A = this chain, B = another copy of it.
């Protein structure tokens, strides 16, 4: 078979459970039976129960075999994953729902994440596998979700609350439109290793890669220099050139962004916005991060109207009130100075004290 290419992914129809094949595109409505459990009803009257289970995403083949075992037992050998990396058991026999949940509870699986909950944080590689991280991904996510577990297991928030994490501002976690985004940031310019630069890097490409024009040729060294005043630690140069690492135990850490949104329900998609410019990397449990996130979640949950997402709530009360209520200090880093900065300035004397 060697040499076979471009045959594409497995054909989805071969993988769908019978109830879906039968009712494909003929779903009529759904109900949220209880946290972690959805019921979809087809035009035909057929029912499909979904039991959602939290996943650490970084899983072993043993874990996959475990959940396959469960799917064999309760779901006719079918399961799926969600766009946020949760696992979903697809049950067509209503009588299997409670036994499945009991089994899952017994085995310690995390059932939840539906409705007005905090679902699985989309996240990235961090120190597990990437070369540009400013923080770890899986570790913070684990710490944050342990802390916020009640909001995964129950649907008691005013609205959806999507938390995402990216370990550097490449933002593989697509955190930029999350209710709460946790973003690894570097705070020190790259340290130029001239030997590596000479050996491994195409100098014009590295210069071109810098969004702020901070990189200049260093003709003497046949290498590069960085104008440190202009560098905002994006790591673009490092992606182009291994001779410019910027990771640093003191410089690196985490920033918090809030109010983003993807769906167009009620209000259009929004970007998340910076509210805490830096929290230190404090493994294994990043207590500064978990408590900052919990504070924001809880202040929002207390003050928001029903169905009001984080960003919708802030739009209603105003950012000045957000900082007030959360007690988060307003610092100069939060004020934009990139390309579209002027759009974020306030051009009216109407604001709250």
Chain A positions within 8 Å of B, measured between CB atoms, are 264, 268-269, 339-340, 342-343, 346-350
Contact = CB atoms under 8 A, between A and B. Distances in A.
Contacts of A349: 264
Contact of A350 (B268, B340, B343, B350): B268
A264 B343 contact: no
A341 to B, nearest CB: 10
A91 to B, nearest CB: 32
Contacts of A339: 339
Contacts of A348: 264, 268-269
Contacts of A347: 268-269
A213 to B, nearest CB: 16
A350 B265 CA distance: 9
Max chain B Cβ within 10 angstroms of own Cβ: one of A342, A343, A350: A350
A100 to B, nearest CB: 36
Given A268-B348, A269-B348, A340-B340, 7 more contacts: A264-B348, A264-B349, A264-B350, A268-B346, A268-B347, A339-B339, A343-B343
A353 to B, nearest CB: 15
A interface, over-half SS: loop
Contact of A343 (B268, B269, B340, B346): B340
Contacts of A269: 347-348
Nearest to A270: B347
A241 to B, nearest CB: 29
Contacts of A264: 348-350
A126 B264 CA distance: 46
A348 B264 CA distance: 6
Max chain B Cβ within 10 angstroms of own Cβ: one of A268, A343, A346, A349: A268
A348 to B, nearest CB: 4
Contacts of A343: 340, 343
Nearest to A350: B264
13 contacts: A264-B348, A264-B349, A264-B350, A268-B346, A268-B347, A268-B348, A268-B350, A269-B347, A269-B348, A339-B339, A340-B342, A340-B343, A343-B343
Nearest to A348: B268
Nearest to A347: B269
Contacts of A268: 346-348, 350
Nearest to A268: B348
A306 to B, nearest CB: 21
A7 B340 CA distance: 43
A31 to B, nearest CB: 25
Contacts of A342: 340
A268 B349 CA distance: 9
A115 B347 CA distance: 25
A350 B268 CA distance: 7
A343 B336 CA distance: 15
A349 B262 CA distance: 11
Nearest to A266: B350
A98 B299 CA distance: 60
A340 B344 CA distance: 12
